[in-house]
Amino acid sequence: MQFKSIDELEIQGKRLLIRVDFNVPMDENGVITDDARIQATLPTIKYALKQNAKIILTSHLGRPKGAPESKYSLRPVARRLSELLKKEVKLAPDCIGPEVGKMVAAMHPADVILLENLRFHKEEEKNDPAFAKNLASLAEIYINDAFAVSHRAHASVEAVTKYFKEPAAGFLMKEELHYLNKIMVNPARPLAAIIGGGKVSGKLEVLKNLSLRVDKLIIGGGMAFTFLKSAGIEVGKSLVEDELLTTAQEVLESAKKRGVKVYLPIDCVVADRFDPTAQIKVTPVQEIPKDWMGLDIGPATTTLFGEALQNINTILWNGPMGVFEMAPFSRGTFEMVRHIINSGAVSVVGGGDTDLAVHRSGEAQRISYISTAGGAFLELLEGKNLPGVEALKK
């Protein structure tokens, strides 16, 4: 992908409008419970500070209905960012308008302002050109460091770029695209994709696209039971999308025609109900009791999947292998982390649940790259062009 990054531009003393993703989780008291998305933007912000740029950050938070709502204010984010940067980050009263203009005009080199929630204006999600022009008027240079929202044609992501000569990527965006390029464009082969999670329907296009690109396809999680049932295996009360049984079979047949090796669970951890205190046991997938449900891959499957990764050079993983939030059904997912690390392959992990699982395993630092994105990550794996990325191309 041809685009410029922040370190290729002359930004010394310039006003930078940096689109970030500060859509962080908060508790009912407005306390940030996970600041990973803020931390992820620090390299870009700190680089701009060293260049004495005037930094204007802009983000959304939550789903306000096109009007200000105090619970969606970015004030807690400004406080946390001030702590991380060890310097004051002023929160603007809005993201556009005369008051914001005055604050920007009064900025000194290495000042940082965080604009208030973009989605307090309905024009943001409508990709309104007039709103985008107002945002653009605040700065001389535009930087997109928010890959996680780049699948949305929103004003601060797509329309705003039309008002800058050379819109560019921040370091987080650059790194995301670098690693995803390793998978989707020029992977070191053999390439394996591990796809899990609950439903086939949410990842059908991903599975179809990846089956055209990978050398091995490993399917786990709840979605595996739809594939198993499509092969004529009775899976008890396990999660199955009956309307997609034919489609699942078509995915398997398409992969087979291309010579892609597909791996499905051969055993699983089953329970008599969806509860961490349920009665559980391990059984071959052909012997799941009629009134029981599969909630994790079993030990034989874990070994099989691990062996399948031994001669792999690049691994993509999206979706846990079981209900890892419940301790009795977490082993398969955590064991998969270990197998990925032990393979020695370049490993790229994406998707909120998978990200969380890897961090809970305590081995996150040993994964090559963990994407900060959810929807954008999946859409790129589907083979779609992302508006925010396309807007940065030369």
User: Could you give the residue numbers annotated as active site?
Assistant: 37, 199, 352, 375
- How far apart CA 177 and CA 196 sit, in angstroms, is 22
- How far apart CA 41 and CA 128 sit, in angstroms, is 26
- Using CA atoms, how far residue 227 sits from 1, 193, 265, 318, 332, in Å, is 35, 16, 10, 17, 18
Best CA proximity match to 117, nearest among 71, 181, 72: 72
Pairing of strands 267-271, 293-297: antiparallel
What residue ranges in the chain does DSSP mark as E strands?
A: 15-19, 54-58, 89-91, 112-114, 141-144, 168-169, 191-195, 216-219, 261-263, 267-271, 280-284, 293-297, 314-318, 346-349, 369-370
- How far apart CA 249 and CA 272 sit, in angstroms, is 28
